[in-house]
Amino acid sequence: GRSGLIRHYLGNREDLVRALVERLFAQGLEEMPTDWSAISREEIVEHILIELFDPVTEEQEHFQILLKALWMTHERDNETRKLLHQLHAEWLHLLQIGLTQAYPDASKEKCESVAYALLCMADGHFSMESLALRETSEVSIREAASQLIETLA
């Protein structure tokens, strides 16, 4: 039937979601600074906090919906698991570079730990959205992340 034709030309649901997430993620990466050295510490920290914790635009909201769909399938789908690993690894790398640039006196290991913790906080914060706790905690999660980053000083 018709769904067979659609599947033939577009692939299955997981393939579509993966392709959309990859495209949106690539767009997001393009918005990230490529040369952190040209940016002050305050600007780097602000940029990280905005990217990870600020209220989302409509486009980011669509991306998060797609990302949630991926999270629901990653346990049973190896391609999805690989994609999520790649996306998180790239974000982690960007955060590590930014924090290392912003806090040159902090050890590489400490910057890596803080970057990982920030990514975990962002993912956890994102997950809480469906519990309707997120709106009341925007400021507190951002403040907690800011305090964590300050441990690098």
Q: Is 70 exceeded by the pLDDT of residue 56? A: no
> Closest Cα to residue 30, out of 13, 46, 51?
51
- pLDDT bin (cut points 50, 70, 90) of residue 140 is confident
> Closest Cα to residue 103, out of 41, 43, 18, 37?
41
Query: In three state form, how does the secondary structure of the chain look?
Result: CHHHHHHHHHCCHHHHHHHHHHHHHHHHHHHCCCCHHHCCHHHHHHHHHHHHHCCCCHHHHHHHHHHHHHHHHCCCCHHHHHHHHHHHHHHHHHHHHHHHHHCCCCCHHHHHHHHHHHHHHHHHHHHHHHHCCCHHHHHHHHHHHHHHHHCCC
pLDDT for 145: 95
Q: Dump pLDDT digits (tens) for 112-127.
A: 999 999 999 988 887 7
Record the tokens describing residue 36, joined without a space.
């952190």
Furthest CA-CA distance within the chain:
63
- pLDDT bin (cut points 50, 70, 90) of residue 3 is low
Distance (Å, whole) CA 89 – CA 82: 10
Distance (Å, whole) CA 45 – CA 95: 10
pLDDT for 147: 96
Q: Dump pLDDT digits (tens) for 35-49.
A: 778 889 999 999 899
**Side-chain-side CA neighbours of residue 39 (13 Å):** 20
Distance (Å, whole) CA 25 – CA 121: 19
**CB-based contact 145:95 (threshold 8 Å):** no
pLDDT for 133: 62
